[in-house]
Amino acid sequence: MSERLQSIQECGDCVEPADAFGLVANETRLSILEALWTAEASPVRFTDLRQAVGMRDSAQFNYHLDKLTDQFVRKLDDGYELRHAGEKVVQAVLAGSFTEHPTLAPIDVGDPCVQCGAELEAVYDDERLSIQCPDCGYGHGEYAFPPGGLTDRDDDEILAAFDQRVRHLHCLAKDGVCPECSGRMVTTVERADECCLGSSLTATHRCSQCNHQLCSAVGLALLDDSEVVGFHREHGVSLSERPYWTLSWCVSDDAIELASEEPQRFEVAIDCEDETLTVTLDGELSVVETARSG
């Protein structure tokens, strides 16, 4: 057993993980959490909460509510409200991660592969969505996408939601914040034979707390950089409206040069019409300098 796994199972001043999950393994308690989540105002009075759950036996209801209090529910002078842990339980249920295992036929993306030009397709499997080329097999990114993301969305909306999700995940990760637990995210860049992309030069973001991991091409870190965004705007391109997989510097290392090993420096050459913006990044994907040529 890893040291990290031992540490989360041997907590001192906290509820044991097994006990915490056991507290919500009850239909009434899940209903209480859902009622607090959907309440129009917070906190919710005991009587109003019991009526929302639809339980007549006040003593029995109080028993279940008391089990949730402190860990998942906060008791205030004028009622009850969800704690962050309670919110996460409800969000996980709504996302379908614990209850749904949907299948989805491949989606025609309508954009060309950055390597061979064939039309890309999106494939959904085991709660992960990947953008890939059916002809050459080049990967344009594969990331977790909870089943709730498919609900009430057509194919175009699913692709748009996935694009925004990937941007959000990597925006947090490159800034050192784990999108899963908010722990410290550490970035390394190295050559890898297998990753979420077809490229070999891979940026890996790994959480030192929960070990959550994301990988990407080096250039994906620049999608929200002000100079990169402004450079494209000057050339009539809105980066927020361009899916990341249509930008070769976001999914390939063809435009990326390893300028220095010690310290690590990477140069990303971004072309727009007859001008090139070269962005130099360090090993943590922070911008060191930029230069234009044309």
Q: What is the CATH number of the domain that holds 32?
A: 1.10.10.10
Range of weakest confidence among 194-208, 214-228, 240-254: 194-208
> Alpha carbon of 203 to those of 18, 130, 224: distances in Å?
34, 17, 16
Q: How far is CA 89 from the centre of its chain?
A: 17
- Structure confidence at residue 3 as a pLDDT band (50, 70, 90): very low
Residues 108 and 211 in one domain: yes
Number of compact structural domains in the chain: 3
What would the mean pLDDT of 272-293 be, rounded to a whole number? 94
Residues 6 or more apart in contact with residue 129 via CB below 8 angstroms:
122, 123, 142, 143, 145, 158, 162
Residues 138 and 213 in one domain: yes
- Structure confidence at residue 216 as a pLDDT band (50, 70, 90): confident
Written as six digits, the tokens of 218 are: 């080096």
In the prediction, which pLDDT does 198 show? 63
CA end-to-end span of the chain: 56
What phi-psi label fits residue 167: left (phi over 0), alpha (psi between -120 and 50 degrees) or beta? alpha
- Residue in the structure block whose two tokens are 């965004």: 229
- Structure confidence at residue 199 as a pLDDT band (50, 70, 90): low
Residues 110 and 212 in one domain: yes
Residues 6 or more apart in contact with residue 175 via CB below 8 angstroms:
185
Domain end: 219, 245, 275, which one?
Answer: 219
**Range of the structural domain that residue 255 is part of:** 220-293
Residues 21 and 67 in one domain: yes
How many Å apart are CA 119 and CA 112, to the nearest integer?
A: 5
The answer to whether residue 6 scores a pLDDT higher than 50 is no
What would the mean pLDDT of 255-277 be, rounded to a whole number? 93
Is cis: bond before 102, omega within 30 of 0?
no
Domain end: 52, 76, 95, which one?
Answer: 95
**Residue 185 · residue 176 · CB < 8 Å:** yes
- Structure confidence at residue 92 as a pLDDT band (50, 70, 90): confident
Higher pLDDT, 88 or 122: 122
How many Å apart are CA 245 and CA 107, to the nearest integer?
A: 14
How many Å apart are CA 270 and CA 232, to the nearest integer?
A: 9
**Residue 223 · residue 170 · CB < 8 Å:** yes
User: Do β-strands 79-82 and 73-76 pair in parallel, antiparallel, or remain unpaired?
Assistant: antiparallel
Residues 148 and 132 in one domain: yes
Range of weakest confidence among 44-53, 88-97, 108-117: 88-97
Residues 192 and 231 in one domain: no
In the prediction, which pLDDT does 85 show? 84
Residues 82 and 12 in one domain: yes
Question: Which residues face 101 on adjacent strands?
Answer: none
Residues 110 and 166 in one domain: yes
Residues 24 and 85 in one domain: yes
Residues 151 and 50 in one domain: no
How many Å apart are CA 247 and CA 270, to the nearest integer?
A: 9
What would the mean pLDDT of 50-70 be, rounded to a whole number? 91
Range of weakest confidence among 14-28, 197-211, 212-226, 274-288: 14-28
Domain end: 180, 202, 219, which one?
Answer: 219
Residues 112 and 214 in one domain: yes
What would the mean pLDDT of 165-170 be, rounded to a whole number? 92
In the prediction, which pLDDT does 9 show? 41
Residues 109 and 78 in one domain: no
Mean pLDDT of the chain: 86
Is cis: bond before 263, omega within 30 of 0?
yes
> Alpha carbon of 23 to those of 5, 26, 64, 69: distances in Å?
21, 7, 9, 10
In the chain, what percentage of residues exceed pLDDT 90?
59
